[in-house]
Structures are given as C-alpha cells and as structure tokens.
Amino acid sequence: MQIYKEGKAAINYSDGTFLNPKMSLLRDISVLFLKSLNAKGASLLDSTAATGIRGIRYGLEAGIERITFIDINKDACMKIRSNIKRNRIKAKVMDQSIQEFAASETGPFDIIDLDPFGSPVPHVHDLLKISNSETMMMVTATDTAVLCGAHYSACIKIYAARPMHNELCKESGIRILLGFIAREAAQFNFGIDVRLSISDLHYMRVFVTLKRGAAQAVDSIKHLGFLASCRACHGFETYGGMVPEVVKRCPNCGAARELAGPMWLGGLHDRELLTKMLHEKGPYDDAKRYIESIRNEPEDMFFYSIPALTRSMGIGSVSPKIVVERLREKGFEASLTQFEKEAVKTSAPLPDVARAVRILKK
Ligand SMILES: C[S@@+](CC[C@H](N)C(=O)[O-])C[C@H]1O[C@@H](n2cnc3c(N)ncnc32)[C@H](O)[C@@H]1O
Ligand SMILES: [Zn+2]
C-alpha cells in the first residue's frame, strides 16, 4: 500500500488508481478558493473522484461537511471508501458515471468539481442538470493541445470553436473552454460569473458561478466573440458577437489575420475573491504566490510575446520584465502573464509596446 500525503490528507493510491502529485498546486488553489468562499455548509460533488483526494481535502481543509464522491471505476470507489475512512470524513460514495448519477439524482449541489481525463465537454451538460443558481462549478481541462490548436479539427468537433495556434493559444484556449461552458449553461437558463481561471503546465481550470435566469443566460452569451491575430506583427483585436464584421487584413501591417472563436471575452477572475484568497491562513504559499501574480495582471485581453515581437521587428531580445517597467513608467498597466513565458499583458496598444522595446534596444 502506498500513502501519499498532501495538505491534511493521507491518501492510499496503490493498484493503479489515478493520482497525479503534479496537480497539487491546482488542488491547493481549489482548497484556498473554497476556504475564501466560506463554503462550510455547502453540498459538494466530487464527480471524477479517483482516490477522493480533492473532496477529502475540501472536507479537511475548507470544512465542507456534505460531500458526495462518484467515479465510474469500481476500484476507484473502493479506494475512495478506504480513504474517507482513513481521513475520518463522512461522505456518500457512489460507483456511478456522472451520466447515470445525474439521471437518477436531483441534486442540486452547491459546488461541483469536475476533473476528468482530457476534455470536460462530455460531462458538463449532465452536471448542469444537478445544478442550481449559485452552484460553483470547478472544471479542469487537460486536452490543452486541442484547446491550443495543435489538433484543429478536434477543437472544432469538441468545442465547436476555431482555436488559435500561436503564442496567444493558452488564453484563447481557456476562453474557448469558458465559451463552451457559457453556451451549455445558457441551455439551462444559467448565466455564468467567472471567478478564477488558471492555466498551468498541461492543464486549464476554471471556476464559475451559475446565475439562474433567461436574462442572465443571454447576458453571458453576449460575452462571446472572436480573436483576430496577426502572425506578421503580432497585433491582435477582439470582436464581440457571433457574426462580427471582422477586418481580415491587419490594420497595423496589412498581413492576413487569423480568426479564433467563439470564445468568452468577459473577465477571467473575480479580483475581490483573489484578494480574499490571499488573506486565508494555512500552508498555501505557492498557491498564494500564483494567485498574487494573476491578481497583478491587467484585465486587458491577450498579450504580447516579447521574443515574437522582437523577431518580427528584426532586433535582438529584450527582457520582458524591463518592458513591463518601461510601460508602467509611461502610465500603462503592465505585467507578465500566467499564459505565456516572456510575454507582457498590458493596457498599451502595439505601437507603444514596440516603441518601448525599440528604446530599450537602443
Ligand atoms: C483525472 S482522474 C481524477 C483525478 C482526481 N480528481 C485527483 O485530483 O486526483 C479522472 C477520474 O474520472 C473517472 N471517470 C471517467 N469517466 C467518468 C464518468 N463518466 N463519470 C464519473 N467518473 C468518470 C475516472 O475513472 C478517473 O478516476
Ligand atoms: Zn500585422
């Protein structure tokens, strides 16, 4: 028997039950998130539980008392039962698929964790059946190659969206995922409030609150749109709406632009909640560092990859950190971004970023 310790949990994970220690940061962030919501009295469904590590940590560390675990795999459910006993958690465990569970159970759950292999798409519709207004959905996607455009047709097939396969791919990928959730939720007359969006390693994770109402659903859909990006000069532009009048040639350099979407063009985080997360007590230093860095990002959509920009300008590399400082001196908001190494997210338009880069080179 192998015991893995993470947070306050001790988890038996032998005999091939899935457990990825590399996801510990993401689990820490989820625990911190639930702690900051003060969600003790909430009902929680760990819908792809594997060893049960998430639900168990939410119980032990965020104080959630009403937890249901499900997993399609019977061996996983045996592990969950032994792990909840080991960690003294009282919970319901059902060896059922999400689809069977949602057909027989009425819910609704206040919090739903979905952390499947690959894409969450086959499961979101069923989980919406056991949701209510204010349900918090925490959704992981590990099919980032699809969302980032390495498998173009797969993204069209699974997400009904055209991906962007360049330096903007991670932000456009997470926005395609959110766009998909917004469209699915709208079918049930739910709007979505995006509270937190994380892109790290090979996974993306989004935290959204559902808001019941036809008007809320329509309002969410109004946040959908497209991204036009130029490979020649690295300028980009977003267009709201499902059939926007997109200028196909780049207004900056005249090259043909690529289009991606539909995707979510609304906000990616609830800044007040991020601040609350930073004030939570406990041994979550790495998670807090991550949250602090995304709280410092400007709310502007997309960013400039400095190596891509300097290459297109035919000049040598400059430090993105110094570009950030220079743009701030000029009165713009600017920071590095979780979506791409050596990139700058800023309120400055492309000509100002290019000017800052050129001056630094001189
Ligand atoms: C990536 S693992 C979950 C990892 C876990 N949440 C953690 O943090 O370690 C995905 C789990 O989903 C289960 N699963 C796959 N399809 C499912 C379905 N349709 N309904 C419920 N569980 C499913 C698998 O058996 C597997 O245990
Ligand atoms: Zn251009």
CATH number, domain with residue 307: 3.30.56.70
Last residue in a domain, options 226, 259, 276 = 276
Q: Does residue 155 share a domain with residue 52?
A: yes
Distance CA 96, CA 202 (A): 27
The answer to whether the CB of 76 falls within 8 A of the CB of 10 is no
Q: State the closest ligand 1 atom to the C-alpha of 116, by its place in the atom list counted from 1.
A: 10
Nearest to 266 by CA among 192, 316, 328: 192
Ligand 1 atom showing the smallest separation from residue 71 Cα: 22
Query: Which ligand sits closest to the CA of 236?
Result: 2
Owning domain of residue 325: 301-361
Single residue among 214, 243, 276 that ends a domain in this structure: 276
Q: Per residue in 251-261, pLDDT tens?
A: 999 999 999 99
* Strand, coil or helix: 180: helix
Alpha carbon nearest to ligand 1 atom 20, residue: 97
The Cα 99–Cα 122 span in angstroms is 9
* 13, pLDDT greater than 90: no
Is 290 inside any structural domain? Answer: no
What was the pLDDT predicted at 1?
78
Q: Is 107 helix (H, G, I), strand (E, B) or coil?
A: coil
Task: Answer yes or no: do 153 and 238 share one domain.
Answer: yes
Flag whether the pTM goes above 0.95: yes
- Whether residue 328 sits in one domain with residue 257: no
- Expressed in angstroms and rounded, the spacing between residue 255 Cα and the centre of ligand 2 is 5
- Domain assignment present for residue 53? The answer is yes
Nearest CA to ligand 1 atom 12: 48
The four Cα atoms 93, 48, 107, 280 give a dihedral, to 10 degrees, of 100
The pLDDT tens digits for 229-241 are 999 999 999 999 9
Decide: residue 90, CB within 10 A, 0-12 exposed, 13-18 middle, 19+ buried.
Answer: exposed
CA distance 241 to 102: 32
Q: Looking at the 3D structure of the chain, how many domains does it have?
A: 2
Band of pLDDT at residue 16, cut at 50, 70 and 90? confident
Does residue 191 share a domain with residue 62? Answer: yes
Whether 162 is in the pocket of ligand 1, judged by its Cβ within 6 Å, is no
Q: Which of 208, 197, 240, 244 is nearest to 222 (CA)?
A: 240
Ligand 2 centroid–CA 350 distance in Å is: 10
Residue 292 belongs to some domain of the structure: no
Asked if residue 286 belongs to a domain, the reply is no
- Dist. CA 335 → ligand 1 center (Å): 36
Beta carbon of 113 within 6 Å of any ligand 1 atom:
no
202 and 317: one domain? no
Please state the separation of Cα 34 from the chain's center in Å: 15
The first and second tokens of residue 161, run together, are 């969206």
**Same domain, residue pair 206 and 250:** yes
Atom of ligand 1 nearest to the CA of 49: 6
Report the pLDDT value the prediction gives residue 195, as an integer from 0 to 100: 98
Residue at 126 is within a domain: yes
Q: In the 8-state DSSP scheme, what is residue 163? A: -
Q: Are 99 and 52 found together in one domain?
A: yes
Q: Is the pLDDT of residue 362 over 80?
A: no
Q: Where are the alpha helices (DSSP H) in 201-270?
A: 214-221
- Residue 319 Cα to ligand 2 midpoint, Å, equals 22
Roughly how many angstroms between the first and final C-alpha of the chain, as a whole number? 62
Residue 281 lies in a domain: no
Looking at the structure, tell me whether residues 316 and 218 fall in a common domain.
no
330 and 207: one domain? Answer: no
What CATH number is given to the structural domain containing 82? 3.40.50.150
Q: Which ligand is nearest to the CA of 103?
A: 1
Cα-to-centroid distance, 236 and ligand 2 (Å): 8
Whether 65 is in a domain gets the answer yes
User: Is 130 domain-assigned?
Assistant: yes
145 and 253 in a single domain? The answer is: yes
Q: What is the pLDDT of residues 31-74, one digit of tens each?
A: 999 999 999 999 999 999 999 999 999 999 999 999 999 999 99
Decide if pLDDT at 29 tops 80. yes
Average pLDDT over residues 103-120: 95
Number of H helices, E strands in the chain: 14, 15
Name the least confident of 15-19, 69-73, 98-102, 169-173.
Answer: 15-19
Domain boundary among 235, 259, 276: 276
Report pLDDT for 257: 97
Mean pLDDT on 212-228: 98
